[in-house]
Amino acid sequence: MAVILHSFLPSIQTLTSPIRQRIPSTSSTRSPIISFPKCCSQSQSNWIQVRGAGADIFFRDPFVLDENLSVEFSSPSSSRYNSVQDLGPPEEAGKKVLKQYLTEFMSTRLGVRRESNILSTSSRMADDGRTYYQVEVNIKSYANNNELAVMPQDRVVRLEWDRRYLSVLGVENSRLYELRLQTPENVFVEEENELRQVMDSFRVNKVNA
């Protein structure tokens, strides 16, 4: 058995946001069991796939460098998931997702501070009969412009980045799959509808190998 992760935008031509021209196209990846929808190749996509980025699949917008899409899945040797409910209720899953993000963004630089907030958690039954969890978080990063300064007035705190993180969690073949979307908050305002379409259409489907 194999698994196909399917993230589908129903009508590329009808989308008016700039993201319409930047979503990833169908492409081979490190894992033969992963594919992106053929419909996406109809757009003039210029997202680039980044290999060795730590995720099982990773695409980045070459123009908005803080905007990316990735898919991660748990190890088959250590996974024994029956459903996404094994993570607990959506609220508990949201805490785990946020904790993982903060762990990944942990910095050893002096004067760096992260401010995080879980914006929403939800559960939905998709048309494939499976339950998916959706988690939205906001993370801000602050840093001092002169962290070694002796006087407090010389250590001015500035906002480094302000990002929205959107995660969709699903289970198939005893493994946990997570679709991740990262975008700056100011870009999210412009592309929210399209990003939510990607989230809502995420599927994990068991098929014959």
Measured between alpha carbons, how far is 22 from 43 in angstroms, rounded to an integer? 8
pTM for the whole thing?
0.77
Residue 85 has pLDDT above 50, yes or no: yes
Higher per-residue pLDDT: 79 or 153: 79
DSSP string, 130-184: -EEEEEEEEEEEEEETTTT-SSGGG--EEEEEEEEEEEEEEEETTEEEEEEEEEE
CATH class as words, domain 2-207: alpha beta
Q: Among 79-83, 122-126, 140-144, which range has the highest average pLDDT?
A: 122-126
Higher per-residue pLDDT: 146 or 81: 81
Domains of the chain by residue range: 2-207
Residue 170 has pLDDT above 90, yes or no: yes
Residue 6 has pLDDT above 90, yes or no: no
Confidence at 144, pLDDT banded by 50, 70, 90: confident
Q: Where are the alpha helices (DSSP H) in the chain?
A: 90-104, 185-200
